[in-house]
Amino acid sequence: MKLSELKIKSITALKEELHALLKEQFSLRMQKGSGETPRTHSFRVVRRNIARIKTILNEKGRESHE
């Protein structure tokens, strides 16, 4: 997921994407807890994508309040 792709999306689309990523992060944690070994790099990828979306949502929120 690229930053330029995220900046184009609307706030509602970003929130939906964030919700989907949080669900994916939860399922990865459950898999790890139950002893399954998911791809370990996917934790980092999901966590960073969540951070990217939150950053863009904060930027767009600040722009709308100015």
User: What pLDDT does 66 receive?
Assistant: 67
What does the block give as tokens for 19? Answer: 């919700």
User: What pLDDT does 61 receive?
Assistant: 86
User: What pLDDT does 56 receive?
Assistant: 95
Exposure string for 47-64, b = 16+ CB within 10 A, e = fewer = eebbebbeebbeeeeeee
- What is the fold, at CATH topology level, of the domain defined by 3-65? Helix Hairpins (1.10.287)
Q: Block means of pLDDT (10 residues each) for the chain, length 66 residues?
A: 86 96 94 81 94 94 78
Please report, for the chain, the start and end positions of each structural domain, with discontinuous segments joined by +. 3-65
User: What pLDDT does 3 receive?
Assistant: 85
